[in-house]
Structure 1
Amino acid sequence: MAHAPHPLATLEQIIKTPSSEDGVPTEVEADLRVAGCMLIQEAGVMLNLPQNTMATAQVIFHRFFYVSSMYSFGINDISISALFLSTKLCETPIRLRDLINTYLFLFARIQHLLNQPSYKSFKVNPMLSSASGSSTGWQLGDGQRLQQLQSQSIKGKEKQQDPIWDNFNFEVPGFHDEIFWEWKDVITANEMQILKRLGFNMQVDLPYSHMINYLKILDLVFEDEAAQMCWSILNDMLLTPIYAIHPPHTLACASILLTTRLLRIPLPEDWYILFDTTYDDIWSCCGYVMHVYNDWGIEKPKGAITSFKLEGNDEEQKVKENRWRRAWVLAQSRKAVRRWLEERRKV
């Protein structure tokens, strides 16, 4: 039987990832995957890139860390390189300078949050707002938005809504600033590493079209909120590694199962057999998504009738914020991961 064009991680790669063999705990590796994919999604929204370009970049990002270690490659470096490579694969080209400026802006915003006192709670989580496909209002496109930020002529909606952004400031680097050339070299080098380590197999089959076809077969395409919620859940799945573990038709079925549970829509018995998948596989995918909702505090999909608790008390919220801080710090570079591992071994 011929191999599927959409490559998946092997069982050995899933059980023993390169990062885990270098001492990175499974929980930390999962958090860093989320942080890297959030950067891709946020930057893609700001640059007005289509969803398939952002999704392709996130899938490539996950695949890369099944063949490479976070001890050897920085999360931010691979994130921006995967997105730039994806714009070429999906034929949605962007200026490299716009991409670098966007990431620098996101890094500055993250650093602003990290500089907040530890006792001060985050009022908003700006890195999560676009995970379900919604826009944050920071639209860049041709870079005009960054010029507006530089001149301070207008303020973004997030600044107006939340005092946590009161002292935030970002200046666009000059055309000949060294930081641009440094990031250009980083992107070029890591782009070649991605291609080499993945064997130039950049085939990515996304589950969105499968999901729409399955909804039509199940006569759910006209159910209120069903299609949109399935789409949002598939976007949220990109924060997890399941796109590199399960084939697209399984992911489509998982989004339908979770959507119908949240909307309390009954499904025929053993409906998933029709789409050549198993209940255990699709339920496992749903578990990945629910863990992300719970651990990172992402809002439940819009329109959900069934309620589930995503926000806890102050202590639980503090635990989540510390988790965000740790992920953002370790995502800065491979040196940050190495220092953290060395300090952890000394304890």
Structure 2
Amino acid sequence: MSSSIRTAKDASTERRWRYCDFLKEAGMKLKVPQLTIATAAVFCHRFFELDSQNAQQFETAVMATACLFLAGKVEETPKPLNDLARTSHLLQRKASDPTRLESSQQELHVELKETILRAERVLLHRLGFDFNVEHPYKHLLSVIKRMSQAGLIEEESTKTLAQVSWNFANDSLRTSLCLEYSANHIAEAVVYLATKFLSSKFELPKKWWEAVNVDPEISELIGNRILDLYEQTGPVELGYSDIST
């Protein structure tokens, strides 16, 4: 790989981590559901990975805010633009003097709200008004249910397996996997990875995946991408870890 290609790839990865971290913080401050954070992350991936030209028009955090704004409407968990603008500004200006921030709040918020709305319009056109996003969460629960029904794991082990798989699914959002694989393949992969992580807690039969139609080759590829992420950043989840949220 040439140095220029490697540099561009590194810059793209660094930007992805920035907007994922931003979405996690903003989402938690605004108390939006994990599904909304996940949808916003997919919108960001689609925009920044597929539209490098328009990506330069807005700051990363501004476009991430627009993605969160749109995701809230798509997932029927909308947040007022005022709240989004305030949270976005505070996260972007953590080091600012709170007194100065408060004194210029109205002017800053009017400008930022207009910028977020412009970013949303660009985002809408880039997405082609296609807001359909399928996440791996329900699929991974289905895989685990099939494993239980096939007698591969005990009932008391399903919650632990589901929780670890869910965490891996959250972490996968920090990569571009959602652009490259189906939600079902990612779901199978995170369950497959979770079984390795939990191998000391319960033992599965050899080639257990055949009983529940899990593709081990694709699961290995996806799982290795998630593990590569940990080598670079450590296990930092995008969103909430509890499957009940």
TM bucket, shorter chain: 0.7 to 0.9
Q: TM-score, normalised by structure 1?
A: 0.59
1:22-61 paired onto structure 2 within 5 Å: 25-61=8-44
Matched with 2:228 is 291
Find 1:227's aligned residue among 138, 150, 162. Answer: 162
1:191-340 paired onto structure 2 within 5 Å: 191-219=120-148, 220=153, 222-223=156-157, 225-264=160-199, 265-272=202-209, 278-298=215-235
Matched with 1:94 is 79
Contact map agreement 1:250 1:282 (CA 8 A) in 2 = yes
Structure 2 Cα separation of the partners of residues 42 and 298 of structure 1: 16
Decide whether aligned partners of structure 1 residues 74 and 266 sit closer, same or farther in structure 2, where only a CA change above 3 A counts: farther
Find 1:105's aligned residue among 85, 90, 101. Answer: 90
**What is the CA-CA distance between 1:230 and the residue it aligns to?**
1.1
Structure 2 Cα separation of the partners of residues 204 and 268 of structure 1: 34
Counterpart residue identity of residue 197, structure 2: L
Structure 1 Cα separation of the partners of residues 211 and 110 of structure 2: 52
Structure 2 Cα separation of the partners of residues 98 and 201 of structure 1: 25
**What is the CA-CA distance between 1:238 and the residue it aligns to?**
0.9
**What is the CA-CA distance between 1:44 and the residue it aligns to?**
0.7
Decide whether aligned partners of structure 1 residues 38 and 273 sit closer, same or farther in structure 2, where only a CA change above 3 A counts: farther
Instruction: State the identity as a percent.
Output: 29
Taking only aligned residues, the RMSD between alpha carbons, in angstroms, comes to: 2.6
Name structure 2 gaps, 5 residues minimum: none
CA shift digits 1:302-344 (9 cap, x unpaired): 9xxxxxxxxxxxxxxxxxxxxxxxxxxxxxxxxxxxxxxxxxx
Structure 2 Cα separation of the partners of residues 268 and 201 of structure 1: 42
Structure 2 Cα separation of the partners of residues 268 and 61 of structure 1: 40
Structure 2 Cα separation of the partners of residues 187 and 241 of structure 1: 24
1:163-202 paired onto structure 2 within 5 Å: 170-171=98-99, 173=102, 177-202=106-131
Query: Runs ≥4 in structure 1, deviation > 6 angstroms?
Result: none
Q: Which has the higher helix share?
A: 2
Name structure 1 gaps, 5 residues minimum: 1-19, 113-167, 303-347
Structure 2 Cα separation of the partners of residues 271 and 184 of structure 1: 52
Other structure's SS at 1:200 match: coil
Other structure's SS at 1:177 match: helix
1:66-105 paired onto structure 2 within 5 Å: 66-69=49-52, 70-105=55-90
Matched with 1:314 is none
